[in-house]
Amino acid sequence: MIILRIILLLVMSLSLQAQNASQDKLDLPGDNLNLYAVLKIFRESETLEAFERTLNDDSSQVNNLDLDGDNQIDYIRVSDYPDGAIHNITLKVAVSKDEDQDVAVIVVKKLADGKVEIQLIGDEDLYGKNYIVEPNIRDDENTASETPNPGYTRTVQLDDGETVRVETVTTYQISQWPVVQYVFIPTYTVWRSPWYWSHYPAYWRPWKPHYWHYYYGYHFHWQYHYFSHYRRWPQYRVPGWYNRYYGSSFRSRSVVFQNRYRQGAYRNTYSRPQMAVQGSAVFVKRYPKAPSVNTKLPAFDKTGRPVVARPGLRPGTGRPGDPTPGTRPVVTKPGVTRPATRPGLTRPVTRPGVTKPVTRPGVTRPATRPGTRPPVTKPVNRPGIRPVTKPAGTRPVTKPVTRPATRPSTRPANRPIESRPVTRPVV
């Protein structure tokens, strides 16, 4: 049982190799809050109050949510709901005077040996189900992470084709993060954001939300950091967490938000692909010495999704795990690279079924496997006995006359007319 579990988790982690290095376009409201960036801020914060302040700072360019539709950025409140050795640190937005909407939750779990696991989980209303981001954990006794795994122990490939080295951390190192130590000190006072609808800190000034492509263009240059330190993960590390959280009293859902989502009110954010250049320019101006300043933005397909420079799977077209249409030609076999590296082959991905005779000119049965009909006859081996699919001896002439007329593409010139049953008029 243990071996089976290790194999299963190893396969899942390998399947995430391509996902780890793609900035999602989920076509959901969560597109405007990059959870990789949120986890980066959390790691760098000393307290939950400081985390909340940085998260809502215009200069961080992380919060781009406008869930209530007032054309102003929403203030994200951070509140902790401890449960024994587990801290559920929620991110909420006040959508109206009476309604809040959960955005995401950071689950911090302290293990028996003092080590710590962390997962940042997007609320399924904004990100779809099981959208989980976590650090690249190296020493995980409960999974197959200790086995050398190219999915997160070597390099990952970014949207522009560049490879970056994965930086792993141990669960002990996570326990040393300042904000993690803060929530586990004996004198910790549970943090609940004191702000609510229309009552926010004096230092905060809302701004107009950016179009998603501007947001993508800015965070595109952070990919080298995001995907070298964090990854998507398919499992909840706290058993039973999903049912407890989505059935809990501290999770909030807004009717206003649900109605706006059903009406398609959030779709307008994808209407300006050309804005990606402006977002990129802001990053370059702010971080001129970053290693990614000269990285060229990808093009966008007609759906507005980035056309990435490598084959593979992406986390989502509407939900995590969906293949990306139009940009990944080989989605069922992401590990196959032959069509790209050996263009001279006569068997491309589309398998038209008509190129095999070129590579095997000596074969006398090129038409028996056209790709659309099963091999039901052998006319070349026995031309005088079974010329057609129905070897009835009383009707040898009527059948072969109609077949070439109805399906000429499946009967090439390789079958000479002399091999037909006209030489036997009487049976």
pLDDT digits (tens, 9 = 90+) for 145-182: 444 444 444 577 776 667 888 999 999 999 999 999 99
Q: pLDDT tens-digit profile of 363-416?
A: 444 444 444 444 444 444 444 444 444 444 444 444 444 444 444 444 444 444
For residue 362, being part of any structural domain is answered with no
Considering only 23-32, 99-108, 229-238, which range has the smallest mean pLDDT?
23-32
For residue 380, being part of any structural domain is answered with no
For residue 229, being part of any structural domain is answered with yes
Which has the closest alpha carbon to 310: 164, 135, 148? Answer: 164
Average pLDDT over residues 108-131: 97
Average pLDDT over residues 50-59: 98
For residue 249, being part of any structural domain is answered with yes
Strands (E), 177-325: 230-232
pLDDT band at 278 (very low <50, low <70, confident <90, very high): very high
- Number of independent structural domains in the chain: 1
**Buried/exposed code over 1-13 (b: 16+ C-beta within 10 A; e: otherwise):** eeeeeeeebbeeb
pLDDT at 174: 97
For residue 77, being part of any structural domain is answered with yes
The answer to whether the CB of 328 falls within 8 A of the CB of 157 is no
Residue 144: exposed, middle, or buried by beta-carbon count in 10 A (0-12, 13-18, 19+)?
Answer: middle
Domain range enclosing 93: 2-331
Q: How many other CB atoms are found less than 10 A from the CB of residue 14?
A: 15
**What's the mean per-residue pLDDT of the chain?**
76
What DSSP string describes 394-418?
Answer: T-TTHHHHHHHHH-GGGS-TTS-GG
For residue 318, being part of any structural domain is answered with yes
Q: How many other CB atoms are found less than 10 A from the CB of residue 272?
A: 15
For residue 381, being part of any structural domain is answered with no
Strands (E), 154-234: 155-157, 163-165, 230-232
For residue 401, being part of any structural domain is answered with no
